[in-house]
Structure formats: structure tokens, C-alpha cells
């Protein structure tokens, strides 16, 4: 395909299915300062379902979207929360194919880790060093499992990334507040 073909501007949002939107919103708000942008589907609306919805969204037969909410955490992509009625599968971990975790850049990694634990998350370890190109002075990373199973990575790289000579781009980092 030609270099003049259209390209995306960037990531708009990431979708997460949760068992209870209100509980998930409370966890994300208490743990990460999430703010509700809007509810795209509420309990006052008819659930979204049927053959057309199943086809459009890859839902199993009989599943319906009961609620849908967009939340904002800091800067960057928003999170779209879905509450589904119907057959569900557990959240994948890093060994699962496809999307495996969401990473948030933080300035106080120990403080945000503690905040997520207080909100109901489970830290998988203590803060540890990042991998190559992220392992500049003061760096750190830790994974926390949300109550519904999604992996949340907290990462700090105060001295920034470094890059190999053949790097084609630099990693986006949220601007300092």
C-alpha cells in the first residue's frame, strides 16, 4: 500500500468488560482518579443485543450490552467500560493472546500502588525495575490486578527512555501536570 494511504491519528479509547460498571468506576476513581465522561448506555435504556449487535461487536449469541460508560484517567486514551449480560470469559493475563494489560505512567509509583490496593486491587509484586530502554535511573514498574481480573501496570521513568540507533519513533509519555 502506498505511503499516502490514511493512517490513524492515535489511540482514542480502550474497552474493558467488567462485571459491574458502578463497582469498576469506584475502583478506577478511588485507585486512579478516573472521572466519568458519559454513560453511553444505562439501565434506563434497552440493552443492545440481537443478531446485528452480535455481528458488529463479535458477541456470542444471546449476549447483550447492559451498560456502557466512558471514563477518563489523566491524559491519553479514555477507557470504555462495558457490562455484558450473557456468557463471559475470565480476563486474560500476559500469557493470553491479544490485549493483556493497561499501563499508566505515574510520578509516585509507591503511592499509586498503595492507592490501588486500598481500592481493592491486588499487587502482584513490589515495585521492580523496567526492561531495556526503560531502565534509566529512578525507573520502576509493578502490576496490579483489578477486582475483575484486568492487569494494570504502573510505570515510572523519570529520566526518560533511551533508544537504539535504528529506532523509528519515541514512546509517548503523558505530559507533566
- CATH of residue 73's domain is 3.30.1900
Q: Quick one: average pLDDT of 25-33?
A: 98
Q: Are residues 124 and 77 located together in one domain of the fold? A: no
Q: Are residues 164 and 113 located together in one domain of the fold? A: yes
pLDDT at position 2 is 61
Q: Quick one: average pLDDT of 124-150?
A: 95
Helix (H, G, I), strand (E, B) or coil at 1: coil
Say how far apart CA 85 and CA 68 lie, in whole Å.
Answer: 12
Q: Are residues 95 and 82 located together in one domain of the fold? A: no
Last residue of a domain, one of 27, 60, 87: 87
Q: Are residues 95 and 165 located together in one domain of the fold? A: yes
Contact 156, 143 (CB under 8 A): no
| pLDDT confidence band for 92 (50 / 70 / 90) | confident
Domain hosting 142: range is 90-177
Contact 91, 150 (CB under 8 A): yes
Q: Are residues 106 and 172 located together in one domain of the fold? A: yes
Say how far apart CA 48 and CA 86 lie, in whole Å.
Answer: 12
What are the CA-CA distances from residue 169 to residues 17, 52, 76, 84, 162 (Å)?
31, 39, 18, 37, 11
Last residue of a domain, one of 87, 103, 137: 87
pLDDT at position 46 is 96
Q: Are residues 162 and 127 located together in one domain of the fold? A: yes
pLDDT at position 4 is 84
Last residue of a domain, one of 56, 87, 118: 87
State the total domains in the chain: 2
Contact 83, 66 (CB under 8 A): yes
The distance in angstroms from the start CA to the end CA of the chain is 40
H or E segment to which residue 72 belongs = strand 64-72
Q: Quick one: average pLDDT of 67-96?
A: 93
| Phi, psi angle pair for 109, to nearest 5° | -65, -40
Helix 21-32 and helix 109-118, axial crossing angle in degrees, nearest 10:
150
- In this predicted structure, the answer to whether residue 147 has a pLDDT above a threshold of 80 is yes
Q: Are residues 12 and 65 located together in one domain of the fold? A: yes
Q: Are residues 48 and 110 located together in one domain of the fold? A: no
Q: Are residues 7 and 82 located together in one domain of the fold? A: yes
CATH code of the domain in which 127 resides: 3.10.180.10
Q: Are residues 104 and 79 located together in one domain of the fold? A: no
The pLDDT mean for the chain works out to: 94
Give the three cell numbers for residue 168.
Answer: 523509528
- In this predicted structure, the answer to whether residue 1 has a pLDDT above a threshold of 60 is no
Contact 128, 44 (CB under 8 A): no
- In this predicted structure, the answer to whether residue 7 has a pLDDT above a threshold of 60 is yes
Q: Are residues 52 and 116 located together in one domain of the fold? A: no
Q: Are residues 96 and 152 located together in one domain of the fold? A: yes
Amino acid at each position: 500500500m502506498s505511503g499516502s494511504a490514511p493512517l490513524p491519528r492515535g489511540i482514542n479509547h480502550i474497552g474493558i468488560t467488567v462485571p459491574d460498571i458502578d463497582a469498576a468506576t469506584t475502583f478506577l476513581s478511588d485507585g486512579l482518579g478516573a472521572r466519568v465522561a458519559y454513560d453511553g448506555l444505562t439501565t434506563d435504556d434497552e440493552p443492545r443485543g440481537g443478531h446485528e449487535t452480535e455481528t458488529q461487536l463479535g458477541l456470542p449469541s444471546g449476549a447483550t450490552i447492559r451498560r456502557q460508560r466512558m471514563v477518563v484517567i489523566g491524559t491519553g486514551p479514555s477507557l470504555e467500560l462495558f457490562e455484558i449480560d450473557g456468557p463471559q470469559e475470565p480476563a486474560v493475563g500476559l500469557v493470553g493472546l491479544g490485549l493483556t494489560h493497561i499501563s499508566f505512567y505515574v510520578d509516585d509509583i509507591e503511592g499509586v500502588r498503595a492507592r490501588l490496593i486500598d481500592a481493592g486491587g491486588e499487587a502482584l509484586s513490589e515495585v521492580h525495575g523496567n526492561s531495556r530502554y526503560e531502565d534509566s535511573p529512578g525507573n520502576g514498574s509493578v502490576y496490579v490486578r483489578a477486582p475483575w481480573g484486568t492487569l494494570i501496570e504502573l510505570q515510572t521513568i523519570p529520566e526518560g527512555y533511551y533508544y537504539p540507533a535504528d529506532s523509528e519513533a519515541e514512546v509517548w509519555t503523558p505530559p507533566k501536570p
